[in-house]
Amino acid sequence: MGNRNPYQLVSREWQPEDTHFVVNGVVIGKDLMMIAGPCAVENREQIFTISEYLSKFNIKFLRGGAYKPRTSPYSFQGLKTEGLQLLREAADKYNMAVVSEILGTEKIEELCDYADILQVGTRNMQNYPLLKALGKIEKPILLKRGMMSTIEEWLLAAEYIMSSGNEKIILCERGIRTFENATRNTLDISAVPLVKLLSHLPVILDPSQGTGMRELVTPVSSAAIAAGADGLIVEVHNQPDEALSDGDQSLYLDQFRDLLPLLRKQANFRNKRFDYDGVYALSPLK
Ligand code: PEP
Ligand code: MN
């Protein structure tokens, strides 16, 4: 069948089989990938407390912004290099991989020194020089959907990375702007199965930026897995009420703990491995 779409390399027509790659023992695109941690790294005690807690459940990916793209220049901008160093130290101690945001081409080298997966945020999805430069590195890229982007624009952004040479891309639906203002964004759950039809790339979902409300994170996470997502990126904080960014959408530690058995059931249903507490969700998969 000919390719009806403007993107090629990322399309199912180009590659019918799902893309898989391994980071920290997790087969991304096949197993359930759980990325958790605070919106931003704030201090040593915060990131070590959170990562220690996550590691008790065998969570393999630690998120945390060190360079934060804030709407206001007066908001906390992140700890920058110090934040990356703290993340790396905590992740190494607890056997986790680091996921952190890249804001511009000039920081790629530094991010590559500390992070295992580089996150391109919603505000940068159409930063084409950045996408091209990320196509030249070896590390996987977590590409968030632009808050005002169509699915076609999002897949074309992935095409920029892939056509520059990097095939390790994880797509992340994180909500788009609509007239609705009861939630921070309008999370497009249907994007998950649609993008899985159109592309072979792994697709995960961010229920935290997607809703802006911690009360919605559990049900929406569950919906994402039911819809076929390959994983989640969830904001978790030891003191959400004191958080320097995105406290309202950050789960308390015990809320995160309680989410896990629910996700395991759904991972089971989707035939996806989720060994969150060290025991495989399923009897060994082939
Ligand atoms: C974040 O993950 O904290 C973040 C800023 O994400 P997004 O780019 O989706 O807003
Ligand atoms: Mn955030």
Using the mean position of ligand 2's atoms as its centre, give its distance from the Cα of residue 28 in Å.
22
Q: Are 236 and 225 in contact (CB under 8 A)?
A: no
- The β-bridge partners of 251 are 236
Domain residues of the chain, as ranges? 21-276
| Burial track 30-62 (b if 16+ CB lie within 10 A, e otherwise) | bbbbbbbbbbbbbeeebbbbbbebbbebbbbbb
Q: Is the dihedral of CA 228, 229, 230, 235 positive or negative?
A: negative
Q: Which amino acid is at 145?
A: R
Fold of the domain built from segment(s) 21-276? TIM Barrel (3.20.20)
Look at ligand 1, atom 5, and give the residue with the nearest C-alpha: 121
pTM of the predicted model over 0.85 = yes
Dig out the tokens for 265 from the structure. Answer: 């059931």
Task: With CA atoms as reference, report the closest residue to 223 among 185, 196, 193.
Answer: 193
- Say yes or no: CB of residue 122 within 6 Å of ligand 1: yes
What pLDDT tens digit does each residue of the chain (286 aa) get? 456 789 999 999 999 999 999 999 999 999 999 999 999 999 999 999 999 999 999 999 999 999 999 999 999 999 999 999 999 999 999 999 999 999 999 999 999 999 999 999 999 999 999 999 999 999 999 999 999 999 999 999 999 999 999 999 999 999 999 999 999 999 999 999 999 999 999 999 999 999 999 999 999 999 999 999 999 999 999 999 999 999 999 999 999 999 999 999 999 999 999 988 754 444 444 4
Q: Is 174 in the pocket of ligand 1 (CB under 6 A)?
A: yes
CA of 15 to the centre of ligand 2 (A): 33
